[in-house]
C-alpha cells in the first residue's frame, strides 16, 4: 500500500484493475472506480489503457480525497 499525507493525516491506497482501494485514517476503506477518481468516462479509460496513456497518479488520488471527503 502506498501512502498520501493530507493535512497531517495518512491515507493508504492500492490501485487495482478498475478500482482504487483507499484506507482512511479511521480504519475504514473505500473503493472508488477509475471513473469516479478521474472524472473520465469508461470508454476513454479503456482506450487510454489500451493505448498506454492512462494512469492514476498520486496527485489524482489526493485531489479526489480533498474534494470528496
Query: What pLDDT, on a 0 to 100 scale, did the predictor assign at position 69?
Result: 84
Question: What proportion of the chain, given as a percentage, has pLDDT over 70?
Answer: 100
- Percent pLDDT > 90 in the chain is 97
Cβ–Cβ under 8 Å, residues 4 and 13: yes
Return the domain boundaries, the chain: 2-68
- pLDDT, residue 43, reads 97
The pTM of this model reads: 0.86
Considering the chain, what is the average pLDDT of its residues? 95
Task: Convert 6-64 into a string of H (helix), E (strand) and C (coil).
Answer: ECCEEEEEEECCCEEEEECCCCCEECCEHHHHHCCCHHHHHHHHHHCCCCCCHHHHHHH
Amino acid at each position: 500500500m502506498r501512502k498520501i499525507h493530507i493535512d497531517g493525516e495518512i491515507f493508504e491506497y492500492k490501485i487495482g484493475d478498475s478500482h482504487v482501494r483507499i484506507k482512511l485514517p479511521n480504519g475504514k476503506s473505500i473503493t472508488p472506480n477509475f471513473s469516479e477518481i478521474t472524472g473520465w468516462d469508461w470508454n476513454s479509460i479503456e482506450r487510454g489503457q489500451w493505448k498506454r496513456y492512462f494512469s492514476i497518479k498520486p496527485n489524482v488520488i489526493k485531489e479526489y480525497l480533498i474534494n470528496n471527503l
